[in-house]
């Protein structure tokens, strides 16, 4: 996909027209604007990511499901950088299709987290933590911030294991000692 090659922010209608071998005005038969194109990419990306997460977690539960889903998430994001960026865009208010695919991807994560018996705000917090943890790691990785000698895959495995450990104590009310 052109967006993955050039980056979502550098995607232009002129470049797309060249790629497709058509004149730029011809694109308007299929899309209404560059913003509309980016929205369509986001909807497709969210749908694709949700399907990747669902396939990775099917038939698994608990730590196994979290690990499989995390690795699938990272792999997909690294293979499709612009689509990954687009998958993080918030739907415009009233965009029913975008809202539905966004929620479907999040629902996969929520379903996997049911193994930890999280409900209400605890489940919301865990979903946010899961997405933020993976997004942070992937963002640093794609920016080249992990240039140290330690193996990045090992670091990712430890991050996922640490998140699983955190989930096992997610609802504990005790606060760690301040040091």
Query: pLDDT digits over 7-24, tens only?
Result: 667 666 666 666 667 676
Supply the range of the domain harboring residue 95: 42-168
Which H or E run includes 23? none
Per the CB < 8 A criterion, the answer to whether 43 and 97 are in contact is yes
Query: pLDDT digits over 93-152, tens only?
Result: 999 999 999 999 999 999 999 999 998 999 999 999 999 999 999 999 988 898 888 899
Domain membership of residue 147 (yes or no) is yes
DSSP of 57-74, one letter per residue? HTT--HHHHHHHHHHHHH
> What integer is the mean pLDDT of 69-79?
96
DSSP of 10-56, one letter per residue? G--HHHHHHHHTS-HHHHTTT-S-HHHHHHHHHHHHHHHHHHHHHHH
Output the pLDDT for position 6: 61
Per the CB < 8 A criterion, the answer to whether 91 and 104 are in contact is no
Domain membership of residue 126 (yes or no) is yes
Q: How far does Cα 164 stand from its chain's mean position?
A: 18
Number of domains in the chain: 1
Q: Looking at residue 114, which CATH number applies to its domain?
A: 1.10.357.10
The encoded tokens of residue 8 equal 């979502």
Domain membership of residue 82 (yes or no) is yes
DSSP of 114-170, one letter per residue? GGGT--HHHHHHHHHHHHHHHHHHHHHHHTT---SSS-HHHHHHHHHHHHHHHHHTT
Domain membership of residue 71 (yes or no) is yes
Gap between the Cα atoms of 120 and 128, Å rounded: 13
Rounded (5°) CA angle 80-83-86: 150
Is the pLDDT reported for residue 64 higher than 70? yes
Query: pLDDT digits over 24-50, tens only?
Result: 666 667 778 777 788 888 999 999 999
């Amino acid at each position: 996909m052109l967006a993955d090659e050039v980056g979502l922010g550098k995607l232009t209608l002129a470049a797309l027209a060249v790629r497709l071998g058509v004149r730029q005005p011809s694109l308007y038969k299929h899309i209404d604007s560059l913003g509309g194109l980016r929205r369509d990419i986001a909807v497709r990306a969210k749908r694709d990511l949700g399907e990747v997460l669902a396939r990775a977690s099917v038939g698994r539960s608990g730590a196994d499901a979290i690990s499989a889903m995390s690795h699938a998430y990272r792999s997909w994001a690294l293979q499709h950088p612009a689509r990954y960026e687009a998958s993080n865009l918030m739907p415009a208010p009233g965009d029913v299709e975008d809202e539905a695919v966004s929620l479907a991807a999040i629902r996969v994560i929520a379903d996997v987290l049911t193994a930890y018996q999280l409900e209400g705000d605890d489940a919301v917090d865990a979903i946010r933590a899961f997405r933020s943890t993976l997004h942070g790691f992937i963002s640093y990785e794609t920016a080249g911030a992990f240039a140290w000698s330690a193996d990045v895959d090992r670091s990712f495995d430890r991050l996922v294991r640490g998140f699983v450990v955190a989930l096992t104590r997610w609802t504990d009310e005790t606060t760690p000692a301040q040091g």
